[in-house]
Amino acid sequence: MKGCKYGTHRVLEPKGTLPQAAWRIDNTMRLYDNEILIDVDTLNIDAASFTQIKKEAKEDNAEIARIVQDIVEKRGKHHNPVTGSGGMFIGRVKAIGPDIASNINLRPGDRIASLVSLTLTPLLIEEILEIRKDQDQVRVKGQAILFESGIFAKLPDDMPPPLALAVLDVAGAPAQTARLVKPGDTVLVIGAGGKSGLLCLYEAQKRAGVTGKILGMGHSEASHNRIVESDLADHVFSLDATKPLEVYEKVSDLTSGRLADVTINCVNIPGTEMASIMATKDGGVVYFFSMATSFTAAALGAEGIGKDVNMIIGNGYTKGHAEIALSVLRESPILMKMFLERWAVS
């Protein structure tokens, strides 16, 4: 039995939608002829989603596990109804549908990371084994389905799986940064002390070159310290990204009023749209990688202050994004060390 390559055969409600937009999908692990069945061991929850879940659970691990399990049981996928975001998984290939087995470079037993969101991935959790609050990861015993159109990456041999998962979860951000930043650009990275932020700092510095200027903005003391330790920003400062005037004034001061050519927003909380827009010069680019972004607030907010900036939605997929993100750690011993210590606890 063959299903739609985009997974519409799995949509239960509302009918006629794609799996990502659907409220509920079929997560029975009966394999269609053009699907891949995966034994899942780790979920990497999107930062915005995990932050919201931890807050709702008051940081209690048992309650976090209950919320995660409840979402999956109700929706057939990990699609946070509050943030609208999901995450990704790692696991081992169990079976490949006969219609696609000869067309993909994959065999049963291969360890892979999904590069499509959990918001569209049929997921069945049999048991939650561990909550890793500091890594935004949940160890599980479960299974998932990848559709024919789904993208994935084989886990590299030179990195522990939790590290590869942490990097691949945000792979779209550094790849998009590499595409957007030009030599000589002034680049502001908001949320620069997190996973995606640090990878973006590296690519921004690499692409802007010696004539560019990189501004790294964090919030907490730990985030600020990570940016400093990375040595990837010309200026490091800590501000609340929900206070746009303060951010605007600081960036204006650091750039002698010219503001940023490119702003990369990597935060995991809502309400940071206007800080990103105001800190960017007219004709500049704002890249909203954060899934906490309200694109209504961004569009109407820019209009409201008469700001002419190009705003890009943080598409998690950019061609070659997995290779670019993994190569950053291979090229940067400092980031490799930081990621191993902070996000790759086994």
Residues 178 and 314 reside in one and the same domain = yes
Q: What residues make up the domain containing 71?
A: 8-155
Looking at the DSSP bridge assignments, the partners of residue 39 are: 92, 143
pLDDT tens column, 73-91: 999 999 999 999 999 999 9
Q: Does 311 have pLDDT greater than 90? A: yes
Residues 329 and 242 reside in one and the same domain = yes
Determine if residue 135 is left, alpha or beta; phi over 0 gives left, psi from -120 to 50 gives alpha, anything else beta: alpha
Residues 54 and 84 reside in one and the same domain = yes
Tell me, yes or no, whether 298 lies in a domain: yes
Residues 132 and 20 reside in one and the same domain = yes
Picking from 259, 241, 243, the residue whose alpha carbon sits closest to that of residue 251 is 259
- Cα atoms in the 13 Å half-sphere on the side-chain side of 208: 25
Tell me, yes or no, whether 68 lies in a domain: yes
Tell me, yes or no, whether 2 lies in a domain: no
Local confidence band at 345 (pLDDT 50, 70, 90 cut-offs): low
Residues 108 and 229 reside in one and the same domain = no
Which CATH number characterizes residue 199's domain? Answer: 3.40.50.720
Q: Does 270 have pLDDT greater than 70? A: yes
Residues 87 and 13 reside in one and the same domain = yes
Task: Please tell me the total count of domains within the chain.
Answer: 2
Q: Does 38 have pLDDT greater than 70? A: yes
Whole-number Å distance between alpha carbons of 144 and 252: 48
Local confidence band at 211 (pLDDT 50, 70, 90 cut-offs): very high
Q: Does 316 have pLDDT greater than 80? A: no
Q: Does 298 have pLDDT greater than 80? A: yes
Local confidence band at 290 (pLDDT 50, 70, 90 cut-offs): confident
Confidence at residue 279, expressed as pLDDT on a 0 to 100 scale: 98
Using the CB atoms, write b or e for 222-256: b if 16+ within 10 Å: ebbebbeebebbebbbbbebbebeebbebbbebbe
Instruction: For the full predicted model, state whether its pTM sits above 0.75.
Output: yes
Q: Does 222 have pLDDT greater than 60? A: yes
Residues 131 and 183 reside in one and the same domain = no
Of 155, 189, 216, the position where a domain reaches its end is: 155
Using the CB atoms, write b or e for 63-85: b if 16+ within 10 Å: ebbebbbebbeebbbbbbeebeb
Tell me, yes or no, whether 184 lies in a domain: yes
Local confidence band at 208 (pLDDT 50, 70, 90 cut-offs): very high
Q: Does 282 have pLDDT greater than 70? A: yes
Cβ–Cβ < 8 Å for 43, 87: yes
The residue whose two tokens read 């309200």 is 294
Looking at the DSSP bridge assignments, the partners of residue 343 are: none
Tell me, yes or no, whether 164 lies in a domain: no
Confidence at residue 246, expressed as pLDDT on a 0 to 100 scale: 98
Tell me, yes or no, whether 166 lies in a domain: no
Mean pLDDT computed over 115-129: 96
- Is pLDDT larger for residue 159 or for residue 256? 256
Residues 211 and 285 reside in one and the same domain = yes
Tell me, yes or no, whether 284 lies in a domain: yes
Q: Which amino acid is present at 342?
A: R
Mean pLDDT computed over 55-69: 96
Residues 181 and 321 reside in one and the same domain = yes
Residues 138 and 176 reside in one and the same domain = no
Positive or negative CA dihedral for 292, 266, 226, 238? Answer: negative
Number of other residues whose CB lies within 10 A of the CB of residue 56: 14
Residues 338 and 199 reside in one and the same domain = yes
Tell me, yes or no, whether 228 lies in a domain: yes
pLDDT tens column, 150-200: 989 899 888 888 888 888 888 889 999 999 999 999 999 999 999 999 999
Residues 114 and 14 reside in one and the same domain = yes
Q: Does 346 have pLDDT greater than 80? A: no
Picking from 44, 260, 35, the residue whose alpha carbon sits closest to that of residue 131 is 44
